[in-house]
Structure formats: structure tokens, C-alpha cells
Structure 1
Amino acid sequence: MTKHTTYTSAGSGDTIVFLHGFCESTEVWDEFTKPLQKQFRVVALNLPGFGNNTSGIADYSMEGMADYVKEKLEELGIKKCILVGHSMGGYVGMAFAEKYSSMLSGLCLFHSSALPDTDEKKDNRNKTIEFVEKHGVEKFMQSFIEPLFYSENRERLKKEIALMKKIGTNTPKESVTGGLAAMRDRKDRTDVLAAAKYPFLFIFGKDDGAVPLDKALEQCHLPDNSMVYFLGQTGHMGMFERTYETRKALEKFAETIYG
């Protein structure tokens, strides 16, 4: 595996590109993607402001991050790929799909959504920004990470929760507040789903507080070609909570596209 401050790359063949979520990094994909590397070229990017990609970030918007993804793919010689976006990475993926659809062979929304924030969610983002400004990132991580996992999975996944807290705590305060504001202000991209000429894979946790089931059902039928996977007893972190099942779903999706 090639490790760089802004990306990791391993394997060869058709390309799958992974985008992490809010306050995450390429590390969340390290173990998950290993079996996929036997069949595909697997690239994971650190989005602007996160992981080790934290210097001189001027634009945290989903559109700005999508532009960054395009530049990085071009730099890595990737003309076309399947893009997999977890949570905020999916929001970036939808912005990328709107601007650079010709570079997509397929798109996976992995515990993510094309819908904008509700007014209630926007208020919560604003309160969280205030909390982080006042109390700092480490205090925020103490209450933010565990609820992303389904309650009955938390004991089993203590190591993964600790990893997530470590990654999150190392995220600069400006990236946390910038990311929260950018997610709050993102637009509705359900029209991008409806117009897509490439296949979609949706992976949803039935116990995901961040992407509730009714919101999942609102959008998964919109693309012409979509595969949908609902997972019971699963929160927002399927790559850890249901590693085998989510990876298999992604593998089948990629095989369907790439043959």
C-alpha cells in the first residue's frame, strides 16, 4: 500500500475511491478495503481539513471538497471510478456527481444522503459549532462518537470506537466547525440522483440516527439503477458494525459494473 498524507492507494485494476465521513480519515477504510485490493485498485482520500490533510484549508464546502477530489483523481491518473462516500463523504460524492458525472462508473452512498439538513438538524449543527468553540474538540468527541454505533454493538467494538475518538480528537477545531457549517449549508441533490446515468448503491443502517429510515426510503428509488441494502442492528458505522456484509455488497456492486 502507498501511504501519503492525502491518500492511500493499493491493488490494481478498475478503481474504487473511498471518501471518509466527518472527523474521520483514510484510517477508517484500512482494514475494510484489504480484501478488495485483490481485485481492484483501492484509493482512499483524506478530505480537506481531515486526517493528515490539514494545512492551508480555505474551503470546507461540499463543492470545494468535490473540486479537491477531482484534482486528486487527475493527479493519480484516475479517469473513471466507483466513488464510495461515508456520511459527509457521501455529501461530497453527490457534489462531485453534480459537477463531474463523466468520471463516475458508479456511486455508493454509505450511510449517507442526497437530502439537505432539516431545519432542526441545522439548529443542532449551530449548537454543536458553539459547543466546540467553547469546550474544544476533545470534549465534543466524548459525546459524539459512541452514538454513531448501534447500542448493542458498542461493547464489541470498543477498539474501533477508540480509533474513531483518536482520529476525531486529532482533527483541528477549524476543520470541525468548518465541516459542520458546510454540512449545514449543503443543498438538496435529489435531482442529481434522479438524473444519474450510472448505478447507485445505498447502504443504510436501520438504527442510524444520522440517516433515519424514512429519509433513506425517500431517496433510494430515485435513480434509474439502484441497489439498496438495509441492515438491522446497525447504526452509522457499517464498515465496523457489519464489515463482511457491507464489503460484500460493495464487491457485488463493483463486479456488476466492472464485470
Structure 2
Amino acid sequence: MSELPLVLLHAFPVDARMWQPVRAPLSAAGRLITPDQRGLGRTALPETDRAPSLEDAARDVVALLDKLELDRVVLGGCSMGGYVTMAVLRLAPERVGGLVLIDTKAAADTPEAAENRERVAARAEAEGISWLAESMLPNLLAERTRTERPDVVETVRDLIGSQPPAGVAWAARAMAARPDSFDVLASADVPALVVVGEEDGLTPPDAARAMADALPKGELVVLPGAGHLTPLEVPDALAEAIVGWWR
């Protein structure tokens, strides 16, 4: 069993149920913790006048570690979960004993990407999110997954469709405001695993390689046949990569 617990943070715009396909093998290797992030899944969006910021999402993670009385953990996440992981690393590096960065990137949004996130947020607030899954699925899943694995497509559609519009809007704006995080990766002198789907168009292998290169102890694993949501597309391969490294 691994000494340090593994905390995994989910992607946008889904919740911790995305880890279901990898839960059994990871739990067999050590203690696994998969919270819903603020405003998504079963975690409420706190009432606040503050502008959406992943620093607040990072504070939520630190508060969870305090509540569970965990001094240090292996912290990781997929996509937005990776961004929050880097925000925790900036806020409380002493709590992070290892990193697992899955289908994510360290660069900040371009102005165009930030504008697109604001459009998503505004539309979610105005119309709800019945349109969101269809607009995002082409970017989230590899083409082969979309054409040959209707079960995975349906799972992702259901996960997206069950999220609260206010939480979707908050998360989109928080991601748009996030800083570049290459500086915190460069100073993170802990074991780090970077995993990416070979066909990930949102955070491609080049972005993963840049993170692995920036990390003093970074290892890169590229998973064939997968897009942006490797835990749902190639769970066995992802679990094998994490377990082998975690042990």
C-alpha cells in the first residue's frame, strides 16, 4: 500500500463520478479521496462577493485535508482538476508530497480561450446547460470513442447534464482567470506523474511534455486511443500508470 493518500480532482464540467472506472484499482493500491469541487456534483457553491478564482477552489482542498487530518497527500487532477492542483501547489506547497497531472496544462488561457469561457458562463446562467454536452463532447473524447463507444459518450453526457448552471459558470470564470503555473511546477521538488491522451486536443501531448520538462522529478506517460477524459476512455491504462508510479 502507498503511504500518502491520493486526492484526485475532477474535470470541468463534470464531478467526482468521472473517477468511477479507476476507483477499484486505485483504492486497492492506497487511500483514494475524490471530492466534488465547489458548485459541481454534490458540493454547494458558497455565497460570496469575490470574483471566481481557482485560489478559492484550492482553499477548499486545503480545508478538506485539514478536516481529514492529512498533513501531506499525493495531489492530482484531470483538466480543471489539474489547474486546481497547481493552485494548491502555489497556496500550500508543504501539503503536496507528489503530483498526478492528467490531461491538463500549466499555461494560462489565451485571451480567446478566456472569452470563450465567459460566453459559456453567461449562456449557462441565461439558458441553463442543456446545450453544453453537445458543444463540448467533440473536444472531450477521441473521435474513435465518440463513434465506437456510445456507453462512454452517454456517461459524459449524463455527467455534464447533471451539473448546476451556477457552478458551471463559476468554474468557467475561475479557469479563465488562472495564472500561468510553470513557476510553481519548476519549484515543486516532489515526484510527479504527467499523463495525457494521445488524441487530447484540448491539452495536447506537447502541453503535457512541457509540464513534465518543467517539473524537477516529472515523468510523462502518453496513453494511446484516448482524448481529454482518459479516466473514462482508457481507465485500465490510466490506473496502471498511476498505480505503478504511486507504489
Tell me if both proteins adopt one fold, taking TM over 0.5 as the criterion. yes
Counterpart among 56, 59, 63 of residue 67 in structure 1:
59
Secondary structure at the counterpart of residue 211 of structure 1: coil
Q: Provide the rounded CA distance (Å) in 2 between the counterparts of 1:57 and 1:133.
A: 16
- Report whether the alignment pairs 1:45 with 2:35: yes
Secondary structure at the counterpart of residue 99 of structure 2: strand
Change (3 A) 1:109 1:159: same
User: Which amino acid in the other structure matches residue 76 of structure 2?
Assistant: V
Which residue of structure 2 aligns with residue 3 of structure 1? none
Cα-to-partner distance string for 1:146-176 (whole Å, 9 max, x where unaligned): 4311001124432232222222222111111
Deviation at 1:133, TM superposition (A): 3.6
User: Which amino acid in the other structure matches residue 61 of structure 1?
Assistant: S
Contact 2:16–2:35 (Cα < 8 Å) also in 1: yes
User: Which amino acid in the other structure matches residue 50 of structure 1?
Assistant: L
TM-score by length of 1: 0.88
Which residue of structure 2 aligns with residue 217 of structure 1? 209
* Greater RCO, CA 8 A, separation 6+: 2
Deviation at 1:57, TM superposition (A): 4.6
Q: Provide the rounded CA distance (Å) in 1 between the counterparts of 2:46 and 2:111.
A: 31
Counterpart among 94, 99, 102 of residue 110 in structure 1:
102
User: Which amino acid in the other structure matches residue 246 of structure 2?
Assistant: A
Counterpart among 155, 162, 167 of residue 154 in structure 2:
162
User: Which amino acid in the other structure matches residue 215 of structure 1?
Assistant: A
Overall identity of the aligned pairs, in %: 27
Q: Provide the rounded CA distance (Å) in 1 between the counterparts of 2:40 and 2:125.
A: 18
Q: Provide the rounded CA distance (Å) in 2 between the counterparts of 1:208 and 1:254.
A: 23
Number of equivalenced pairs: 245
Q: Provide the rounded CA distance (Å) in 1 between the counterparts of 2:229 and 2:210.
A: 21
Which residue of structure 2 aligns with residue 89 of structure 1? 81
Change (3 A) 1:83 1:157: farther
Gaps of 5+ in 1: 1-10
Q: Provide the rounded CA distance (Å) in 1 between the counterparts of 2:46 and 2:87.
A: 22
Secondary structure at the counterpart of residue 92 of structure 1: helix
Which residue of structure 2 aligns with residue 18 of structure 1? 8
* Aligned residues: CA RMSD: 1.9
User: Which amino acid in the other structure matches residue 220 of structure 1?
Assistant: A
Counterpart among 6, 11, 21 of residue 31 in structure 1:
21
